[in-house]
Amino acid sequence: MKKILFLFITTILLVGCSNNTERSSDKEGKPLVITTTGQIADAVKEIAGDLVEVKSLMGPGVDPHLYKATQGDLQTLEEGDIIFYNGLHLEGKMSDVFEKMEKEKTVRGIGEAIPKDRILSNEENPDLADPHIWFGIEIWQIALEEITKTLIEELPDQKDTFVKNEQAYFQKLADLSDWTASRISEIPEKQRILITAHDAFHYFGNSVGLDVRGLQGISTDSEYGLKDIQNVVDFLVENNIKAVFVESSVSDKAMKAVIEGAKEKGHTIQIGGELYSDAMGAEGTEEGTYIGMYKHNVNTIVDSLK
Ligand code: ZN
């Protein structure tokens, strides 16, 4: 009798244990989704609503090209059930971490879902992909579909909610696109030239009709030299451009050198304002959301160039 009772209790304990370890975040009842950038975290919140908990590793002002995972990040990634990252080598210093995590859980580089023929390459290094896909609203949606697909695989019972949320969000993005086109049309055609510190805005420029020039290459990892500054200065003076832009996640040193160089040639240029390129604004502010950050950029650009 004692033996049977013992077996009975052991079975209950074992069943209890296996249920608890099935999902690491079961104690809160929701799967934990970890993202690298704020842009991806914002999209997951839009598509999943409150069905998952979302944590992003990189906050405002953080440069993803140079970002290295901290001990705390590794802990967070261990705790997560699903990991979404941008891919296309944006998080260049984290590929080993993703490879390791892939053996343990669902890890998706959402940019890898975009057809290769729609990915821009670096003008100087054609072998390198341009990872700044979030600024091309149309191709960003292809990456976001990968998020929806993955969420459905993980939580099939919630499929209808994910699909409905995605459709509602894509409608908002279509409205954003229309609004942007009408704002850009306020800039005289000849002045539709955007000059920034690093090459983050080519997808944006392509989709809204702006000629984009960056001082640094595709990654902030690449060095710019005096020659690059001189080229940009010549271009600015030739085209009579009024403003250049700094970025929240890149030092403004280079842009200051450009303004100084133009001044020596008798051409006055303003800093048109700060754009959000690779990182979004502070959480809780409008610029802390994808749509808010995008609108901030468009308003800043149009108001300075028109
Ligand atoms: Zn970048």
**Top-confidence residue, 192 or 15:** 192
Same domain, 132 and 222: no
Q: Determine the distance from the C-alpha atom of residue 42 to the mean position of all C-alpha atoms in its chain, rounded to a whole number.
A: 9
* Ligand 1 centroid, distance to 299 Cα (angstroms): 20
Same domain, 226 and 159: no
Same domain, 212 and 202: yes
Domain assignment present for residue 1? The answer is no
Quote the tokens at residue 70. 């901290």
Domain assignment present for residue 222? The answer is yes
Same domain, 157 and 282: no
Last residue of some domain: 179, 207, 236? 179
* Ligand 1 centroid, distance to 300 Cα (angstroms): 19
Same domain, 59 and 171: yes
The whole-chain average pLDDT of the chain stands at 88
Domain assignment present for residue 247? The answer is yes
Residue 245 belongs to a domain with what CATH number? Answer: 3.40.50.1980
Whether 8 shows a pLDDT value over 70: the answer reads: no
Same domain, 196 and 153: no
What integer pLDDT is reported at residue 247 of this predicted model?
86
Q: Which domain holds residue 67?
A: 9-179
The least confident of 45-54, 63-72, 213-222 is: 213-222
pLDDT class for 17, splitting at 50, 70, 90?
Answer: very low
> Residue 143 carries which side chain, given as an amino acid letter?
A
Same domain, 232 and 119: no
Same domain, 205 and 163: no
DSSP H stretches of helix in the chain: 2-21, 38-48, 71-79, 95-102, 137-154, 159-184, 202-208, 226-239, 253-264, 290-305
3-state helix, strand, coil in the chain (%, to 5): 55, 15, 35
Same domain, 225 and 244: yes
Q: What is the pLDDT of residues 126-148, one digit of tens each?
A: 888 999 999 999 999 999 999 99
* Ligand 1 centroid, distance to 258 Cα (angstroms): 19
Domain assignment present for residue 102? The answer is yes
**Ligand 1 being an ion, which residues bring their Cβ within 5 A of it?**
200, 278
Domain assignment present for residue 236? The answer is yes
Last residue of some domain: 179, 195, 222? 179
Quote the percentage of the chain above a pLDDT of 70.
Answer: 87
Q: What is the pLDDT of residues 232-278, one digit of tens each?
A: 888 888 888 889 998 888 878 888 888 998 999 899 999 999 999 99
Q: Residue 142: name the closest of 162, 116, 178, 172 by CA.
A: 116
Whether 297 shows a pLDDT value over 50: the answer reads: yes
* Ligand 1 centroid, distance to 133 Cα (angstroms): 10
Same domain, 158 and 204: no
**Number of domains the chain contains:** 2
CA distance 114 to 138: 10
Domain assignment present for residue 2? The answer is no
* Ligand 1 centroid, distance to 129 Cα (angstroms): 11
Q: What is the pLDDT of residues 80-92, one digit of tens each?
A: 999 999 999 999 9
Cβ distance 44 to 143 under 8 Å? no
Last residue of some domain: 146, 179, 212? 179
CA 113-119-124 angle, to 5 degrees, is 140
Domain assignment present for residue 264? The answer is yes
* Ligand 1 centroid, distance to 160 Cα (angstroms): 35
